[in-house]
Amino acid sequence: MMGTSKSILLGVTGSIAAYKAAELARDFARRGVTVRVMMTPAATKFVTPLTFEALIGSSVVTDLFDDKPAGPIPHVTLAAEADAILIAPASADCIARIVHGFADDVVCCTTMAFKGPLIVAPAMHENMYMSAATQDNIDVLRSRGATIVGPESGDLASGGRGAGRMSSIDTIIGLTLKVLGQYGDLAGRKVIVTAGGTQEPIDPVRCVTNRSSGRMGYAIAEAARDRGASVMLISAPTSLAPPVGVEVVNVTTAQEMFEATETAVDKADALIMAAAVADYRPAAPAAQKIKKEQSTLAVPLERTVDILGSLTGARVRVGFAAESSDLERHAQAKLSAKGLDLIVANDITATDAGFGSEANRVTIIDRNGGIDALPLQSKRDVADCVLDRVVRLLS
Q: Which residues bind ligand CTP (CB under 6 A)?
A: 254, 273, 275, 277, 279, 304, 306-308, 319-322, 334
| Strand ranges across the sheet with 84-90 | 34-39, 7-12, 84-90, 118-122, 147-148
Which one, 322 or 365, has the nearer CB to ligand CTP? 322
Residue 140: CB atoms within 10 Å: 15
Question: Residue 332 CB: number of other CB atoms within 10 A?
Answer: 18
Cα(324)–Cα(278) distance, rounded to whole angstroms?
Answer: 17
HSE (side-chain half, CA atoms, 13 Å) at 217: 34
Least Å distance, CB 275 to ligand CTP, is 5
Q: Which is nearer to ligand CTP, 119 or 322 (CB)?
A: 322
Q: State the nearest-atom distance from the C-beta of 330 to ligand CTP, in Å.
A: 6
Pairing of strands 230-235, 207-208: unpaired
Cα distance between residue 323 and residue 294, in whole Å: 35
Closest to ligand CTP by CB, 107 or 277:
277
Helix 215-226, helix 169-180: angle, nearest 10: 50
Residue 79: CB minimum distance to ligand CTP, A: 45
Nearer to ligand CTP, 267 or 329 (CB): 329
Smallest distance, ligand CTP to C-beta of residue 263, A: 15
Q: 127, 137, 210, 346: which one is catalytic?
A: 210
Which residues have C-beta within 8 Å of that of residue 104, sequence separation ≥ 6? 64
Which residue lies nearer to ligand CTP by CB, 154 or 339? 339
The least distance separating ligand CTP from the CB of residue 319, rounded to whole angstroms, comes to: 3
User: What CA–CA distance (Å, rounded) separates 50 from 47?
Assistant: 8
Query: Residue 151, preceding bond cis, omega within 30 degrees?
Result: yes
CA 132 to each of CA 99, 124, 128, 255: distance values in angstroms, whole numbers, following the listed order: 14, 14, 9, 49
Q: How far is the CB of 345 from ligand CTP (least distance, A)?
A: 9
| Closest to ligand CTP by CB, 289 or 329 | 329
Q: 172, 149 in Cβ contact below 8 A? A: yes
- For residue 210, indicate whether it is catalytic: yes
The Cα 76–Cα 78 span in angstroms is 6
Residues with a catalytic annotation lie at: 210
